[in-house]
Structure 1
């Protein structure tokens, strides 16, 4: 029993050290492929997102009509919009 407790403590420390928390930007708003595409372009805030046009974002992997509608609704709720073409 003591061995199991010691082993559990060791595993917990390893998991904490190796666990990388992903950026939570737009988590629960759009799917992971689209969030990864934004991350790849270093778009990690609504302010940075507003520097892009809707057309530019639609060209990224993971963005389609459904994802764009969700994103635009979220941006509207936060008083942010895409730049004009």
Structure 2
């Protein structure tokens, strides 16, 4: 049985339908997406997690180990290839274990 969606309006006037209690407006989330760079390749949860932790460049990403990044809530294994490609394009890698 499908969950019933309810009609909602965000504070900016966007009308959308949601089947959960989540108040996030999908239209507002789309507007927040960066047009380019490695953050543009990521899902909203992954991007928001990195930004929350101040990781907004590949240089900052390179200061973390893969394990540290994967331990952040919102980051999954499917993001790793995107991270590695972005790092490689700048001649960088994840920090190695100490």
Normalised by the size of structure 1, how large is the TM-score?
0.64
Question: Runs (4+) of structure 1 moved beyond 2 Å?
Answer: 21-28
Instruction: Choose between structure 1 and 2 for higher RCO, CA contacts under 8 A separated by at least 6 residues.
Output: 1
**Equivalenced residues, count:** 66
Query: Which protein has the bigger helix share?
Result: 1
Normalised by the size of structure 2, how large is the TM-score?
0.57
Matches within 5 A, 1:1-85: 22=32, 24=34, 26-85=38-97
Aligned alpha-carbon RMSD (Å): 2.1
Q: Give ranges in structure 1 of 5+ residues lacking alignment.
A: 1-18
